Amino acid sequence: MDFQSFIPGLNRSSPGPTGAGAAIGGPSYPNFDSNNNISTLSPQDDQPYSIEHLLAEARPYAPILTAQLQANEVNGHVASPQQYSSIPPQMAQTAQEIKQEIKPEVKQENMQIQPNGSEVEIDVPRVLLYGEQGGEEDKHVISRSSLAKLPKNVLANLVKDGEREGTILRLGSIPHWESVLRLADYLDHGDYRPFAPQTPLEYLDATGTALPWTHRESPKAVEVPRATYDLFCREIDFYLFLSKIGFAALRKISAERLCTRYPKSAQSIWTLVDRVHQVASKEEDTGLLQRLVEYININNKEVINLPEFVPLLRKLTRGRPPLGPVLFEAFITVSQAARRDLLKLQASLAGPDVPAEPLSIMQRITAPSTVKPSQEQLPPRRQEHPERPDFSSPFSAYNISPLIEILRHQNLVIANDNGYGTLVREGSRSGRNREFEFVRGELLVADREGSTVNGRHNIKVMNSRGEVGDILRTLVKKVPASLGVLNPDSAVNDGNRSPPDREQRNFNPNPFPGYRGRSRSPPPRRRYHP
């Protein structure tokens, strides 16, 4: 096992002759400021630590016995103190501390009871070892002087995740080793920097050329190269790691840098929505949440064009978390803007007679996705009603035709009584549950063509909240096509005359010569008189 590799900042070599620093503390690296530039910050006054030195402190000092002294011990003679090798004062004191820490009668190795018995304090490990995922376990080291700077709750969470061996704490090969690397960097220097200082933060211009990022707090989305996006994702990993271990002060610094240090792309904003917003809501990071809402509102056109937008919008809208209405409002805003542009284009193609203003709520219709200019002249407007009267109603008359189709296909049902069914979740096969509930008289929409979850005697229905449930057919009754106000044999319609079932026959008073039409009248009844 190679114990000579250290994280940057922990194994700083002290000034001295050439080669002395490398022999004691391992390789060193230049300091970088918050802009990833080389700075002349002086290192901490901490003494250099090597793995041998740290392990030597953790190991109690044992005297070296010569052959004569061993023989005296066997014969029962007690050796004088002068016969032992001299013990340095610091090492003797350290050994005494270690002996107190590893007493066998102490059951909780990681805890030390205070004299008053009211508080429990975490014993700071003398060294913390961890490694990269899939690599060497004890590759990186954090010294005790650095661990002592952590809050007690943060240190307790780290100890809980690791394995304590005396005064050594081992985390092993962990997937979040880069986040621990940043934590160690912050404890040593009071600041941390991206993992690859030689990789600058860049954005792509209109020609695809990578340029240095200088606009710190610009909320406008830009295109970024892959390396910059990876650094942004690592900052998100660090934020989530700090939330897990409970380091609130450093988490706020990471949240501020997520908003100010990195260029934002549409994918970066969506990564914040997908991974960070729930943790930020739990931690009550109001500043980060406000910035995230601002990013969505400013870059709504770019965000809603992402393929992941609609599935997450549906998920957040149903669950009603804080960010669901924001995404829904962004979608509505862009849709209204596209509809206004479409109406203006139609008005410019139709001429001055067609109003350029958007229609009222009752006059809006579903517009096609693309508009192709027609070479033919549009038909003139109807002049019978040059201006439509105001008609305020929560239900549009343009929805009558779809409503008639729903009634004809028996897709509108009413719950007979209070009940429950299986809530069908999206993306996975749902098992039986009782999470879909309905009340008596609730109006539901039935899917009579889709497959059910719990058998052929069930039916899928959707309520007004968008929840889909699998219930028994006998729990609902269909809404009659007559809506219960007309003859049951009759049905409501949308005013469009349906074609006749039989072909109409027209009477021709002048048939062709020699042609006798078939008489449909009954033959005359002959009566015989006696």
Please tell me the least confidently modeled range out of 175-189, 276-290, 349-363, 513-527. Answer: 349-363
Domain boundary among 246, 267, 298: 298
Residue 212: CB atoms within 10 A of its CB come to 8
Q: How confident is the model at residue 304 (pLDDT cuts 50, 70, 90)?
A: confident
Q: How confident is the model at residue 222 (pLDDT cuts 50, 70, 90)?
A: confident
How far apart CA 57 and CA 68 sit, in angstroms, is: 29
DSSP state of 389: P
Q: Are residues 126 and 267 in the same domain?
A: yes
Classify residue 379: in a domain, yes or no: no
Q: Are residues 293 and 404 in the same domain?
A: no
Q: Are residues 291 and 402 in the same domain?
A: no
How far apart CA 179 and CA 235 sit, in angstroms, is: 8
Q: Are residues 267 and 401 in the same domain?
A: no
Identity of the highest mean pLDDT range in 3-12, 153-162, 386-395, 400-409: 153-162
Classify residue 500: in a domain, yes or no: no
How far apart CA 517 and CA 530 sit, in angstroms, is: 36
Tell me: the pLDDT tens digits for 491-509? 666 666 655 555 555 656 6
Domain span at residue 285 reads 121-298
pLDDT at 143 over 80: yes
Q: Are residues 289 and 408 in the same domain?
A: no
The pLDDT score that the predictor gives to residue 95 is 37
pLDDT at 47 over 80: no
Percent of the chain predicted with pLDDT > 70: 51
Q: Are residues 271 and 410 in the same domain?
A: no
pLDDT at 189 over 80: yes
Classify residue 436: in a domain, yes or no: yes
3-state helix, strand and coil shares in percent for the chain, rounded to the nearest 5:
35, 10, 50
Classify residue 496: in a domain, yes or no: no
Domain count, the chain: 2
Q: How far apart are the first and last CA of the chain?
A: 134
Torsion over CA of 160, 162, 163 and 164, rounded to 10 degrees? -70
Identity of the highest mean pLDDT range in 89-98, 102-111, 289-298, 518-527: 289-298
Tokens 């409002």 identify what position? 329
Asked if 291 and 252 count as a contact pair (C-beta separation under 8 A), the reply is no
Between the alpha carbon of residue 58 and those of residues 169, 214, 276, 385, the distances in Å are 12, 48, 40, 95
Q: Are residues 292 and 406 in the same domain?
A: no
By three-state DSSP, how is residue 168 classified?
strand
The pLDDT score that the predictor gives to residue 236 is 92
Classify residue 278: in a domain, yes or no: yes
How far apart CA 112 and CA 115 sit, in angstroms, is: 9
Residue 215: CB atoms within 10 A of its CB come to 10
Tokens 């601002």 identify what position? 294
Q: What is the mean pLDDT of residues 67-76?
A: 44
Which is more confidently placed, 461 or 220? 461
Domain boundary among 279, 298, 317: 298
Domain boundary among 282, 298, 314: 298
Q: How confident is the model at residue 240 (pLDDT cuts 50, 70, 90)?
A: very high
The pLDDT score that the predictor gives to residue 146 is 87
Between the alpha carbon of residue 62 and those of residues 81, 88, 292, 436, 501, the distances in Å are 13, 12, 60, 71, 109
> Residue 433 belongs to a domain with what CATH number?
2.30.30.40
Q: What is the mean pLDDT of residues 275-303?
A: 87
| pTM attached to this predicted model | 0.43
pLDDT at 156 over 60: yes
Arithmetic mean of pLDDT over the chain: 68
pLDDT at 209 over 70: yes
Identity of the highest mean pLDDT range in 189-193, 356-360, 469-473: 469-473
How far apart CA 303 and CA 283 sit, in angstroms, is: 25
Identity of the highest mean pLDDT range in 134-143, 235-244, 452-461: 235-244
The pLDDT score that the predictor gives to residue 299 is 85
Please tell me the least confidently modeled range out of 99-113, 205-219, 230-244. Answer: 99-113
Classify residue 428: in a domain, yes or no: yes
Percent of the chain predicted with pLDDT > 90: 4
The two tokens of residue 82 are 């002068």
Classify residue 510: in a domain, yes or no: no
How far apart CA 228 and CA 233 sit, in angstroms, is: 9
Q: Are residues 401 and 290 in the same domain?
A: no
How far apart CA 330 and CA 332 sit, in angstroms, is: 5
Classify residue 221: in a domain, yes or no: yes
Asked if 273 and 296 count as a contact pair (C-beta separation under 8 A), the reply is yes
C-alpha torsion sign, points 35, 39, 41, 44: positive
How far apart CA 357 and CA 75 sit, in angstroms, is: 112
